[in-house]
Structure 1
Amino acid sequence: MSGTDRSQRFADALQSLESGDQEDLLAQFADGAELRRPERKHGPGVSADASTFWQQYLAEFEQIETTFDRIVEQGDEAVLEWHSTGQLAAGRDIDYAGVSLLTFEGDAVSRFATYYDTAAFIDPVE
């Protein structure tokens, strides 16, 4: 296994999700994995159902495409820098970037946390 195999597999699966294939991404997660996004309030140790988490993510968009600018994996931790463009479900274009942190147990993701500026999702004041 090379230095970023697990992280690259996750990134590829996320891009498959954006094209409509949820199975590859869901298969990346350990049972009871913790998933976090800035606008979803989860207390310490609270896990979200991976399927629901990603369905809610996709529901925000009419179309979304993510590219990964940098992937670093060391031990059981990984950092993925990314940039996404697309169109929100409400019809407005969106262009935003962020960072996702992964924790692995073996080949499975046991913790996923992503951070980005949520202001990109708010309609601009005219």
Structure 2
Amino acid sequence: MTTTEEFMAALTQAETTGETRPLVALHAEGVTLRNLTERTWQGRDGAEDFWRTYLGNFEDIRSTFTRSHEADGLGVMEWEARGHVKGGHEVNYRGVSLIEVEGGQVQAFRTYYDSAAFVVPVAEE
């Protein structure tokens, strides 16, 4: 099993159970994590914060990986996610996540997704 496959399985488990330890354990001590915000999370403590924050945005969320590949230290995952943000608004969005892998650990994580899915339309009066 590749690190990318382990990562997908651990993320699925975290989304199902809320338990992030197996996912965080895949991250190297010096890992960096980025999403579409300007913030960068660093280290395993940063990875724990990143994944807890991610899960904390949702009442429920489930990612389905539609394609993945790992070669030459780079894992690529294409996915779709469905669930509900806090407050109950349904969300469906797609994205791509990249992991840099060395020695079976995630050295860097970057994710790009359709952030427009999180915008709640204003009701017309």
**Residue 32 of structure 1 corresponds to which residue in structure 2?**
30
Q: Distance in 2 between matches of 1:33 and 1:119?
A: 28
Q: Distance in 1 between matches of 2:76 and 2:122?
A: 33
Output one character per residue of 1:48-88: Cα deviation in whole Å (capped at 9) or x when no partner: 60000111101110000011000011110011000000000
RMSD over aligned CA atoms reads 1.4
Q: Percent identity?
A: 38
**Residue 110 of structure 2 corresponds to which residue in structure 1?**
113
Flag structure 1 segments of 5+ consecutive residues without an equivalent.
none
- 42, 46, 55: which is aligned to 1:47? 42
Q: Distance in 2 between matches of 1:86 and 1:113?
A: 21
Q: Distance in 2 between matches of 1:72 and 1:26?
A: 20
TM-score, L = length of structure 1 = 0.89
User: How far apart are residue 11 of structure 1 and its match?
Assistant: 0.1
TM-score, L = length of structure 2 = 0.90
**Residue 93 of structure 2 corresponds to which residue in structure 1?**
96
Instruction: Classify the secondary structure of the residue corresponding to 1:31.
Output: strand
Does 2:56 correspond to 1:65?
Answer: no
Letter of the structure 2 residue corresponding to residue 85 of structure 1: R
User: How far apart are residue 14 of structure 1 and its match?
Assistant: 0.3
Letter of the structure 2 residue corresponding to residue 72 of structure 1: H
Flag structure 2 segments of 5+ consecutive residues without an equivalent.
none
Q: Distance in 2 between matches of 1:69 and 1:117?
A: 16
User: How far apart are residue 118 of structure 1 and its match?
Assistant: 1.0
